[in-house]
Structure formats: structure tokens, C-alpha cells
């Protein structure tokens, strides 16, 4: 009889200790996070400047190429080939230089975005610990929550905390 009562008591305690579970829609969270928006805008602006620079260099090169072709008509074939060869080398060098700058810009952008994602993860963890959650799952595109009761959706609260901290 004592074992039975003990088992019932243990089962009662275990059943009372339910896990507190919530979820965050990552897509909505990241789309609404001001720091992420600013990082994206900053790198879009830098990419636009890079495109303008590339276009400007390309136009200048086209003009130089056309001028050289005009001059080359009065030169010997050997001299014209040499000059065009030098211009082609210059073109390759400039192309490589621009490509390296674009790659560097991509790396910088990815590094900053990784930092933003890390901040978001830390804040979700802190929110979970502070509010007694056992689990906080991810929803949205590629998330692991296929359905969740809206009452368990923590996206708005976490987004508010993130944006409030970012404003400071």
C-alpha cells in the first residue's frame, strides 16, 4: 500500500511539472528587427556604390578602347596588337580588383549579419531563462514548428526586447 501511494505521489508530481514551451517566428522576428534592417540597408548602399564604380570604370574603359581603336587604324598591325594587348591586361587587372572588392564587401556583410543572428539567439535564450521556458522552438520558413497556438508565439515580445535594446 505504501509503495502504491508513493508511486501515485511521484506520478502526480511528475505530471504537474509540465514543460513550458513557446515558439518564435524567425522570419517575422528578423524582418522586424531594426538592427538587421539597418545592416541590410548599409550593405545595399555599399553594393550600389560598388555597382556605380564598376559601371564608371567600364564606361571609361570603353571610351579608352574606342579611342585606341581609332588610333590603331594608323598604326602598324604589330603596334596595334601590342597596344590592344596592354589595354586588355589593364581590363583584366581592373576586373580582378573590382571582383576582390565585391568579395570583401560580401564577407563584411555576412560577418555583420552573423553578429545580428548571434544577438537574436542570445536574446531568445535570455528571454526563455527569464520567463521559465523549457523550450523555445523556431517557426517560419525552415523552422521546426508546423503549427503553434498563437498564445505560445513569443515573436512580438522578443522583437520588442531586441528593438528596445538596440535603440539604447
Locate the domains of the chain by residue range: 18-167
Contact indicator for 136, 24 with CB cutoff of 8 Å: yes
Answer whether residue 153 shows pLDDT above 80.
Answer: yes
Report pLDDT digits (tens) over 39-66: 999 999 999 999 999 999 999 989 998 9
What count of Cα atoms within 13 Å lies in the side-chain half-sphere of residue 100?
Answer: 6
Q: Is the pTM of this model over 0.85?
A: no
Does domain 18-167 fall under CATH 1.10.287.110? My reply is no
Q: What is the largest CA-CA distance in the chain?
A: 114
pLDDT at 47: 94
Q: Partners of 139 in the beta sheet?
A: 25
Q: Tell me which of 35-39, 97-101, 122-126, 148-152 is least confident.
A: 148-152
Report pLDDT digits (tens) over 11-49: 444 445 688 999 999 999 999 999 999 999 999 999 999
Q: What kind and span of H or E run contains 22?
A: strand 21-25
Closest by CA to 23, choosing from 137, 159, 150, 144, is 137
Amino acid at each position: 500500500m505504501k509503495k502504491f501511494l508513493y508511486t501515485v505521489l511521484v506520478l502526480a508530481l511528475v505530471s504537474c511539472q509540465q514543460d513550458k514551451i513557446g515558439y518564435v517566428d524567425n522570419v517575422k522576428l528578423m524582418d522586424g528587427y531594426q538592427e538587421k534592417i539597418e545592416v541590410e540597408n548599409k550593405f545595399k548602399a555599399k553594393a550600389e556604390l560598388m555597382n556605380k564604380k564598376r559601371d564608371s570604370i567600364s564606361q571609361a574603359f570603353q571610351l579608352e578602347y574606342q579611342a585606341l581603336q581609332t588610333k590603331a587604324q594608323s598604326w602598324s598591325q604589330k603596334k596595334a596588337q601590342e597596344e590592344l594587348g596592354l589595354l586588355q591586361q589593364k581590363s583584366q587587372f581592373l576586373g580582378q580588383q573590382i571582383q576582390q572588392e565585391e568579395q570583401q564587401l560580401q564577407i563584411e556583410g555576412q560577418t555583420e549579419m552573423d553578429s545580428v543572428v548571434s544577438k537574436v539567439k542570445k536574446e531568445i535564450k535570455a528571454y526563455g531563462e527569464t520567463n521559465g521556458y523549457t523550450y523555445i522552438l523556431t517557426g517560419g520558413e525552415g523552422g521546426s514548428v508546423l503549427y503553434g497556438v498563437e498564445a505560445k508565439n513569443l515573436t512580438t515580445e522578443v522583437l520588442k526586447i531586441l528593438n528596445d535594446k538596440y535603440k539604447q
